[in-house]
Amino acid sequence: MIMLVRFGPAGIPMQCKGTSTLDGVQCCAELGLKAMEMSFVRGVRMRDEMAAEIKKTATKLDISLSSHAPYFINLCSSEEKTVKNSLRHIYEASRATFLAGGSITAIHPGFYQGKSKEDAYNLAKKRFQEVAQQLRQEKIKCYLGAENVGKKSQFGGFEEILKLANEIDMIKPVIDCSHLVARGDFPLKNENDYRKLFAILEKELGDYVRHFHFQFQEVEYSEKGERNHVALGTNNDPPYKPLMKVIAENSYAGTIISESPWPDVDAKIMQEEYNKFNS
Ligand SMILES: [Zn+2]
């Protein structure tokens, strides 16, 4: 059976008895999952020796790792201190991810805070370039995973993320399907919508569809955008079954991370649905 897509939870599985990232990696393997997103959302506190240990274990167990950078990032800010701290958070998350053998860190780029879309874009671009340069100099190989965000007040709509990825080599988009829906950036209701989404990704980013990085869960939202991530089967958009069908039928390859309240359970549900088309 060919498995071109890896599924895994955001953070340590709920079913895991241990509480460390290392425990989480082992638990993912026991659950039959193939990926895990390390959570750095409240700051990076991983020692280099621990990162090396995680890399060894994840390699042995064939778990592919990514991470989520801290939430307190705003690359569009006018405050020097905020920008400096944001760059540091991205640098630290990328470095720890790389040392742990991961390949991408998901980043919510920032907020408009009254700025025009153009000004916010230019500030974010300049600052992404700055941190990309620093990572390159230090030979830290970790993609900057600019993530399409879920709220209208946040910078990082679908088109903004695609444009950033086209203009900066080290950026690889993290596509959060629930955010596409909640922000009103792209409707996802059926197979055809997913086909259109992949057609755009292929047109804009070429072989990204052969190593995509997605986040997937259902979402509750208002006219302002995202309110809550919710579990699969709660009858909110986006629906996961048509996505599994489209990626299997087209042999798209990549990683899908669940950021639901039961991330490991939902990752497993998606994996089982996906496998139906591959057996
Ligand atoms: Zn995120």
1: pLDDT strictly greater than 70:
no
CA of 147 relative to ligand 1 center, distance in Å: 6
- Determine the average pLDDT of the residues in 170-183: 98
pLDDT in tens, 68-95: 999 999 999 999 999 999 999 999 999 9
DSSP 110-179: EE-TT--HHHHHHHHHHHHHHHHHHHHHTT---EEEEB--SBTTEE--HHHHHHHHHH-TTB--BEEHHH
- Structural tokens at position 213: 């990085």
- Determine the average pLDDT of the residues in 245-256: 97
CA of 106 relative to ligand 1 center, distance in Å: 6
Residue 151 has a pLDDT of: 97
21: pLDDT strictly greater than 90:
yes
Q: What is the mean pLDDT of the chain?
A: 96
Host domain of residue 153: 5-276
Order of strands, sheet of 104-107, starting from the edge strand that comes earlier in the sequence: 35-39, 64-68, 104-107, 143-146
Of the pLDDT bands very low, low, confident and very high (cuts 50, 70, 90), residue 197 is: very high
Name the domain count of the chain.
1
CA of 71 relative to ligand 1 center, distance in Å: 8
Least confident of 21-25, 65-69, 143-147, 232-236: 232-236
- Determine the average pLDDT of the residues in 178-197: 98
The whole model's pTM is what?
Answer: 0.97
CA of 279 relative to ligand 1 center, distance in Å: 32
CA of 145 relative to ligand 1 center, distance in Å: 9
Residue 195: CATH number of its domain? 3.20.20.150
Residue 278 has a pLDDT of: 78
CA of 176 relative to ligand 1 center, distance in Å: 7
